[in-house]
Structure formats: C-alpha cells, structure tokens
Structure 1
Amino acid sequence: MTDILHTIVEHKKAELAERMARVPLREMIVRAEAVRRPTVSMSRSLLRSPSGIIAEFKRRSPSKGWIAREARPEETVPAYERNGAAALSILTDEAFFGGSVRDVEAVRPLVTLPVLRKDFVVDAYQIYEARAMGADAVLLIAAVLSGEQCHRLTRTAHGLGLEVLLEIHCEEELGHVTAETDMVGVNNRHLGTFHTDVRHSFALAGRLPSDRPLVSESGLSRPESLRELRAAGFGGFLIGETLMKTPDPGAALRDLIEQSL
C-alpha cells in the first residue's frame, strides 16, 4: 500500500505554504498572542477523569472514507462533554479528514473541556494557529518530526500555554519522549498503511514514562480493551470512529463509559 503518511505530509506542506501566503507568520503570532482565554490543561483533565476518553470529532479518514459527512461539531462535541468525555479532539485536516479550523472555532464557546487540535503539524505556524483558533493542546507526531523539531515545537506550544500530546507508533520513536512531553500517545494505527493493532499499546506500555498521562489511540471500541489498557498504565483513550459512525455519538460515548468502568 502507498505510504499514506508521506502523501499527507507533502500535501500539508504545500497547503501550509498557501495559508502562510494569505496570513503571514507575523500576523498569526499577533492573533495567537491576542487570545485572552486561559487554556485548560488536558493532562490534568485526563488524570482527574474516571473514563479518560478523549472523544474525537472526525468526519472521514483516508482508509475508511466518509464516516459522518454531514456531522456538525456544534451538535456532536457538546454532546461529548455532556456524556462524560475527559477531553475533546477535533481533526482540522480538510483534504484527508474532512475537518477545518472552523470546527474548533465553532465549538470553543460551547464547551469547557480541553480541546486538542489534531492535525499533521510540520511547522510552528500551526502551533500559533492552534492557539488563535481556541485549542488547548496540539498533537505532535514522532513519525513526521525529528527529536529536535519536537523539542522546538513543544517549547513554542508551552510558550503559548498549550500542552502537547506526542504520538509514537514504534520502539524507535521512544527517543522523542523527553521530560517536557506533557502526554505520550501510542497510535495503534500505522500511519503509513493504516493497519490497526491494539497490541502496539501493550507492547510499548512498559517503556513509557509513568509520571504523565499515557494515551492509547485508534482502534478502540471494546470496553474490555479499555479496562485492560488501564491496568497496563494508560489513563487516556482517543476514540473517534467508534463514536462517529453511530447515529448518536454522545449516547455511544455514555454507553462505552458505563460498560468500561
């Protein structure tokens, strides 16, 4: 299968160049620094939550196509908060996931939980964008960034009051995890092939730091899996497709929480 991650990243770089031409970095920095709303700590929210579920708003994926094409974030995301989510994740990639920065802007006034801007971050510009749109945390993906890039982007995020969820997929990426990493995520889905295997989280659990929230991402649908992952040290669970493919994602979240605790 074609390396989907490479395709996405190359498209993201071209897309970013166009956005920067419309709104230069200097202006985006001004927008970010003008935001007065204090950010909400996603890591603390995960530590306090009995469920640890980061409920994700996701319209489509490169592997599955459209999941919920007509879904409205103004309806779905507040329903996640009402039904027990620990935090919220919103995909802002448009070309491959059907998302938009407008989705974060639309729900920010409607929720109090921390919001993760989930995208393929390749430049500090996107960190400033995240703060300007109202996010509380950003995702950094070790597979597309060097350790030094992660360090620089994390410092930029922290300077704006944002937290970082660092996503890894394999043992070779463990070196990207440092003392400054707020949360560590293990993606059970290989971003090159999109093959999913929850065993990735269990395989890496013992190698991850125990002094911050650990998040298992992708392929999570069974309450039994969440209980087993909690026992292995995970306190966060990023779940999108399982919820979004149902007629009522908020109710699906409530049922999953009730069955997994």
Structure 2
Amino acid sequence: MTILDHIVAYKKKEIAAKKEAYAMKLFESSMLFDRPVISLATALKNSDTGIIAEHKRRSPSKSVINEKADLPDVVSGYQEARVSAISVLTDTRFFGGSIEDLLLARSTVTIPLLRKEFIIDPYQLFEARAAGADAILLIAAILTKEQLSQLATVAKSLQLEVLLEVHNEEELLRSPLENIDLLGVNNRDLKTFEVSTDISKELASRIPSHLVKVSESGLSHPETILELREYGYNGFLMGEHFMRESNPGRSASEFIKNLRS
C-alpha cells in the first residue's frame, strides 16, 4: 500500500465520521457559504510573481516542518509579502492542518485561498465553501475519471475554482478537463519522492492553453521560477521553502524581492 493509498483509506473513514456528526446541508447556513469567491486563476494571470505560498505544518515525507508558527502571523505575513494566493493544508492526520485553519486564514487575509486536501467526496467541497475557500485541489492520482468529473462539476456549482494536480503525462491525458480552471504539475515523483522540475517542462506544451499552468514542489530559487515562466507557467506553489523558516512571511518577502530584481 502506497502512502497515497493509506491516506485515502483513512480519509474515507474520516469523512464518514464527519457525515454522521454534521450533515452536508448544514454547510449552506454558514455566513461564508454565499460570499463572492476571489478568482485564483485571475490572481495568478495578473501577478508578476505567481507565488502561491502554503501553510504547512508537517508532511509524511518530511515529518515536522514548522509546528510553532502562528497561522494568523504566517498568512498575514504572506499577504504583506504580496504573494498571489495562499494554500492552506487542512488534512489533520498526515499534515497537521484542519478546516479551522482555513476559517482562520479567511478571517485574516483578503487574497485567494486554496484548500489543499485529499478531496474524494462532495462533502469536502461544501465544507470548503463554508470555510471560505476560493479554490480546491483535485489530485488525479487518487481519483478515477468519473470521480474527477463529478467533483469538478460540484465544485463549479458552488462557484469554487478547481486546480487539478497531475504527476505525469498519463494522468494528464486521462483526466477530463471540463470545469477545470488551473492545471498543476507536481514535480515530486510519488514512487521515489525525488523532485525535478523537468516534468513541469515536459508537460507544459500538452496543457491546454485556456488553463492556468501551475508548477508545484521543488521550487526554492527565483531562477527556477523565471525559467518555468518561459514554459508558460503563471503559478508556483511553494510550501516547505517558506515554512521551514521561523518567519515564513519574511522568507516569502525576501524571495519575491529577489525574484523581481
């Protein structure tokens, strides 16, 4: 069983328990449910940096990254650094996040928020909308073609933008792209956990031009961002690089200054 298989198996149990405790229809009564979303795709296309900075406490591969940083300080620091958007990891078991992290981020900043989660059920989409997300992540590696299509359709009915993440050409070619706004290429090999931006470069020409291209993982140098822009990428999802520092917002600010210089 791969780490993704293990995560999905656990996620199914987690969602089942949540459904028993809190009916999906109750999310519609949230004050945030009908708020106008802020377009992640537009923010990236109009940005001169395209940085999506992530709030991430830990990961299965790196264990603890930063569990001491205060979330409001982190996300407000990111916004002050002029990042384009913020990704909030809400998985608890494997990444140390929570849906409350998304709620707290939404009450703190005014830029687009991406819910970073292992989404396998429409319940999570309603939950994301009620917690103030503007966009959600769908991971091709854990979803069938039918599941991708269903979840993307539900997300769009909730006015949530969809970032579809692929790891290789096979995932890209088999994925339905209706109701997809952004296409993310994860540079991390799921089998070896090695990271290389070569996969972003290889897949760039195969991504339909109407989708906003996002490169994910292994982005730690301004030169890499500049190089990937030449391949048509508008978005760059960065998590561990900033979160490893005691002051992630300041780290993001310094990175963006170097990127612009």
TM interval, shorter chain, is over 0.9
Structure 1 residue ranges (4+ consecutive) displaced by more than 6 angstroms after TM superposition: none
Which piece of structure 1 moves more, 84-93 or 185-194?
Answer: 185-194
Partner amino acid for 2:11? K
Report deviation, 1:106. Answer: 0.9
Report deviation, 1:32. Answer: 5.7
- Structure 1: distance between partners of 2:123 and 2:165: 19
- Structure 2: distance between partners of 1:235 and 1:129: 28
Report deviation, 1:50. Answer: 0.5
Which piece of structure 1 moves more, 47-56 or 172-181?
Answer: 172-181
Q: Percent identity?
A: 46
Q: CA RMSD in A?
A: 1.5
The residue that corresponds to 2:251 in the other structure is 252
Long gaps (5+) in structure 1: none
Q: 2:149 aligns with which of 148, 151, 172?
A: 151
Report deviation, 1:177. Answer: 4.5
C-alpha contact (below 8 Å) 2:149/2:178 kept by paired residues: no
TM (norm. structure 1) is: 0.95
- CA shift in 2, pair 1:87/1:210, >3 Å: same
Structure 2 residue 63 is matched with structure 1 residue 65: yes
Structure 2 residue 234 is matched with structure 1 residue 205: no
C-alpha contact (below 8 Å) 1:143/1:168 kept by paired residues: yes
Which piece of structure 1 moves more, 248-257 or 125-134?
Answer: 248-257
2:9 is paired with a residue whose SS is helix
Partner amino acid for 1:182? D
Partner amino acid for 1:43? A
Long gaps (5+) in structure 2: none
- Structure 2: distance between partners of 1:69 and 1:61: 11
Which piece of structure 1 moves more, 2-11 or 126-135?
Answer: 2-11
- Structure 2: distance between partners of 1:35 and 1:179: 23
- Structure 2: distance between partners of 1:103 and 1:141: 21
- CA shift in 2, pair 1:238/1:34, >3 Å: closer
- How many residue pairs are counted as aligned between the two chains? 259
The residue that corresponds to 2:16 in the other structure is 17
- Structure 1: distance between partners of 2:193 and 2:13: 22
The residue that corresponds to 2:179 in the other structure is 180
C-alpha contact (below 8 Å) 1:120/1:140 kept by paired residues: yes
Report deviation, 1:26. Answer: 3.0
Partner amino acid for 2:149? H
C-alpha contact (below 8 Å) 1:32/1:128 kept by paired residues: no
Structure 2 residue 110 is matched with structure 1 residue 112: yes
TM (norm. structure 2) is: 0.95
User: Any idea what the Cα deviations from partners look like across 1:153-204, whole Å, max 9, x if unmatched?
Assistant: 1111111111000000111111314242100000111345433222111111
The residue that corresponds to 2:73 in the other structure is 75
1:235 is paired with a residue whose SS is strand
